[in-house]
Structure 1
Amino acid sequence: MSADVDVLVVGAGQAGLAVSHELSERGVEHVVLERDRVGSTWAGRWDSFRLVTPNHGIRMPGGAYSGDDPCGYLPRDGIVDHLTAYASSFRAPVAERHGVDRLEPDEAGFVARSAMGDIRARRVVGCTGAYQRPHRPGFVDGLAREVPVVMSADYRSPGALPDGPVLVIGGGQSACQIAEELHAAGRQVTLAPGRAPSMPRRIADRDGFDWLEDAGFFEQLLADQPSPAVRLAANPLATGAGGGHDLSLRTLAARGVGLVGRVVGVDDGSLVVADDLDESLAAGDAGFRMVCGLARKAAAARGLPDPDPPEPLDDPVAAAEVPSLRDLGAVVVACGYRPAYDWVEVPGVFDDMGFPVTDAGASRAVDGLWFVGVPWLRHRKSPLLMGVGEDAAIVAEQLA
């Protein structure tokens, strides 16, 4: 049985498009299938969403940012526009509204099953992104019986939530950005965070992420991390809103957002939280100082003056009163994402956490199956707009 296509790329976000560009450059026949539209994951973010990394960090192969605001932070629709224009620039062979429901091995390689019909491919590259399935902790079902619950993937704006105070659960970038936006809109907000690192938006009039890049932070390898669970860890807190500014548990508390411990459950209609707010604050402070230390090392390595980074805020932060569920208008759950490769029906491809096990993108379990855009595929930057092109080039060169 012959294949319909040499290489099938699944997903048309930054990873899939980068792979398509690199395959096109090498003359490799391929098709990109996208369940929704090009850049649809970005399009699904909330209305005011912006990048947290500077625009000059958009380094798609053949499609780097070339606008007039390299140190700014593109809004949601601007990111989608950039990816759409990028796909058009090299006539990426994308079939939109054509999702893959199942991928199965067959004698010619693989068969991709979908409502639009089956496609057989000799080789397949999975590029379905780093943000696949919103994590819904077990206690959320109990919450939902008491108060309207909105997952961060479904959040759009303060006005789209029911009236009344809002509880935000989660301590990463999305949770803190949403909490800040809700408070700025006049909502009473309580945040139940986890332990995410914070960072200064700017050090010596330069973006904190630029210092991190100089220090080699994004080149770090998974093998050098304390645990593979780092793939699920929160990124340093940052925001591109309002031109970019510091965002942390401490800045939120200073603005009037109430902070409580981590939510651990619902008991008899009441919220149960841990007594660990101090630990969450300390984790944020440690991250802040780590970033500042890396900036100092990067400056010294380049023979630059010490950047004299700031210290984190140190005003005491007392835990707020735990809100009564009956008084809340809504709960926003922003507890990160988990991998979701249920569509890949090939034995042995994924580890216990659900991530593909690869060598530089090539599956260790089956020949002809590749992945790009996976957190920590090769480096910390592997799924990012600044790094996905490097992985795409390596995979495309192997496929060629």
Structure 2
Amino acid sequence: MDTIVIGAGQAGLSVSHELTQRGVSHVVLERGQIGESWRRRWDNFCLVTPNWATRLPGFPYAGDDPDGYMPRDQVVAHLEAYADSFGAPVSTGVQITSVSKDGDGFHIQTDQGDYSCANLVVSTGAFQKPFLPKGAETLPEGLATLTLHDYHNPESLPDGDVLIIGSGQSGCQIAEELNEAGRKVTLACGRVAWAPRSFGGKDLFWWVVESGFADQKFSDVPPAARLAGNVLASGHHGGHDVNLALIQAQGVELVGRFTGAEGDTARFADNLDECNDFSNARYADLQAFFTPTAKAQDIQIDYPAPCHLTGSARTEIDLTEFGSVLFTGGFRPDYRSWLPWDDAFDDDGFARHTNGKSDTVEGLWFVGLHFLRTRKSALLVGVGEDAIAVAEQIAG
């Protein structure tokens, strides 16, 4: 076998499509089902990017709602249809037990048999392991603590109020969902940018793509951008704005960064206003970035005003008020737990690579990583471009 692709999400299927186009023999190994990572999202999850931005190689979105936002199950169905469209050689339900170098190639042991290949393409997603902030271990043992992998719907949580730690896209959307379901929610906030869902008659993501923001390379931005949260927005209810002020106005209590607990008392930094100021500052940065595109295309924009919060935030809260704590601070890489080449990854666990090709392990490739080549590398709008680049190198 020339190539083994690990992971049958948008990245792995895009690579498979391009390898198929080039006549490269390969198989895609998936421990779950096609689109497994999407299947694990909560029940009411939907895309934040518009449907027209789903641009997998040879299979762009062709439905009747290009400006809508696909819910979870439609995303999965789209990936399944993509695999069927070119007869992707996907083997599902395959659990990898070990990976090793074998001469100039690789040896892969699985619970369904062994494989050998010259090239190994890792496309298991941008992030794999839920991130728990410092202080998470101090929460009382009797208090239910969950991550995004555990949350399915409001009924999946224990009775009682909910403390959400993490105010990125997922945290804010789940806070809205729980609040709409009648649950009392407290949201511990961090530093995340916001922008309107649409302005100048165009969706936010249109501006992200057309302005070149999505094409920024890692070398164009501060290193911290690799772990920065995505710009706050929502695709629910046809798409709407999300920011801290709107969340607060809906009745969700906002507090600062979670710093830990002592007994039944949770403590939070007195930095909620700083979080909001950061969000507004990044909003201003985005306006500045988008303005040249607006001028070039003669689009008039009346930007909404910055966000303003009301009242003061608590810095100590009695945890007996809550039935559960939900961590929504995102995910981190987890390659070292199953790949044996420690020097293939940096101190934060990110792959050391050049345009998807490992810097240290010959024949090892990555697709679907955040900032693999550009800011859009892990997104449905950009992963295909990286898959084409990697497949061309493998075929060459």
Which range, TM-score by smaller chain?
over 0.9
Aligned to 1:266: 261
Once the two structures are superposed, the pairs formed by residues 178-327 of structure 1 within 5 Å of their partners are 178-227=174-223, 229-302=224-297, 304-320=298-314, 322-327=316-321
- CA–CA separation in structure 2 for the residues paired with 1:21 and 1:157: 34
Identify if the C-alpha distance between structure 1 residues 62 and 173 changes in structure 2 by more than 3 Å, giving closer, same or farther: same
Task: Report if the CA contact (8 A) 1:289-1:311 is conserved.
Answer: no
- Unmatched 5+ stretches in structure 2: none
Identify if the C-alpha distance between structure 1 residues 309 and 27 changes in structure 2 by more than 3 Å, giving closer, same or farther: same
SS at 2:118's partner residue? strand
Residue 100 of structure 1 deviates from its aligned partner by: 2.0
- CA–CA separation in structure 1 for the residues paired with 2:34 and 2:140: 33
- CA–CA separation in structure 2 for the residues paired with 1:146 and 1:197: 34
- CA–CA separation in structure 2 for the residues paired with 1:137 and 1:145: 16
Residue 142 of structure 1 deviates from its aligned partner by: 2.6
Aligned to 1:399: 394
Residue 305 of structure 1 deviates from its aligned partner by: 3.1
SS at 1:154's partner residue? coil
Aligned to 1:379: 374
- CA–CA separation in structure 2 for the residues paired with 1:62 and 1:98: 26
Residue 306 of structure 1 deviates from its aligned partner by: 2.4
Q: Deviations over 1:46-100 (max 9, x none)?
A: 0100000100000000111100100100000000000010001100000000132
Q: What is the aligned counterpart of 1:332 among 308, 315, 326?
A: 326
- Unmatched 5+ stretches in structure 1: none
The normalised TM-score by structure 1 is 0.96
SS at 1:329's partner residue? strand
Q: Which runs of 4+ in 1 moved over 6 A?
A: none
Amino acid in structure 2 at the alignment position of 1:319: A
Greater mean deviation of Cα atoms: 129-138 or 243-252? 129-138
Aligned to 2:80: 84
Q: Deviations over 1:221-243 (max 9, x none)?
A: 1011122x321111101110100
- CA–CA separation in structure 2 for the residues paired with 1:265 and 1:360: 39
SS at 1:118's partner residue? strand
Task: Report if the CA contact (8 A) 2:265-2:316 is conserved.
Answer: no
Q: What is the aligned counterpart of 1:49 among 27, 30, 45?
A: 45
- CA–CA separation in structure 1 for the residues paired with 2:140 and 2:97: 29
Q: Deviations over 1:301-323 (max 9, x none)?
A: 23x13222222233535314743
Task: Report if the CA contact (8 A) 2:244-2:307 is conserved.
Answer: no
Q: Residue 348 in 1 paired to residue 343 in 2?
A: yes
- CA–CA separation in structure 1 for the residues paired with 2:4 and 2:268: 47
- CA–CA separation in structure 2 for the residues paired with 1:232 and 1:317: 30
Aligned to 1:27: 23
- CA–CA separation in structure 1 for the residues paired with 2:105 and 2:29: 17
SS at 2:96's partner residue? coil
Aligned to 1:130: 126
Amino acid in structure 1 at the alignment position of 2:11: A
Amino acid in structure 1 at the alignment position of 2:203: D
SS at 1:102's partner residue? strand
Residue 140 of structure 1 deviates from its aligned partner by: 2.2
Once the two structures are superposed, the pairs formed by residues 144-155 of structure 1 within 5 Å of their partners are 145-155=141-151
- CA–CA separation in structure 2 for the residues paired with 1:39 and 1:131: 15
Task: Report if the CA contact (8 A) 2:376-2:382 is conserved.
Answer: yes
Task: Report if the CA contact (8 A) 1:108-1:121 is conserved.
Answer: no
Aligned to 2:172: 176
- CA–CA separation in structure 2 for the residues paired with 1:288 and 1:153: 30
- CA–CA separation in structure 2 for the residues paired with 1:141 and 1:314: 33
Task: Report if the CA contact (8 A) 1:253-1:317 is conserved.
Answer: no
Residue 108 of structure 1 deviates from its aligned partner by: 4.5
- CA–CA separation in structure 1 for the residues paired with 2:252 and 2:94: 43
- CA–CA separation in structure 2 for the residues paired with 1:23 and 1:396: 6
Task: Report if the CA contact (8 A) 2:248-2:309 is conserved.
Answer: no
Supply the RMSD in Å over aligned alpha carbons. Answer: 1.3
Task: Report if the CA contact (8 A) 2:5-2:12 is conserved.
Answer: yes
Task: Report if the CA contact (8 A) 1:146-1:269 is conserved.
Answer: no
SS at 2:344's partner residue? coil
SS at 2:186's partner residue? strand
Task: Report if the CA contact (8 A) 2:163-2:187 is conserved.
Answer: yes
Residue 146 of structure 1 deviates from its aligned partner by: 4.0
- CA–CA separation in structure 2 for the residues paired with 1:247 and 1:146: 33
- CA–CA separation in structure 2 for the residues paired with 1:182 and 1:81: 26
The normalised TM-score by structure 2 is 0.97
- CA–CA separation in structure 2 for the residues paired with 1:108 and 1:291: 46
Q: Residue 36 in 1 paired to residue 32 in 2?
A: yes
Once the two structures are superposed, the pairs formed by residues 57-136 of structure 1 within 5 Å of their partners are 57-136=53-132
Q: Deviations over 1:14-50 (max 9, x none)?
A: 0000000000000000000001000010010001000
Amino acid in structure 1 at the alignment position of 2:145: V
Identify if the C-alpha distance between structure 1 residues 306 and 205 changes in structure 2 by more than 3 Å, giving closer, same or farther: closer
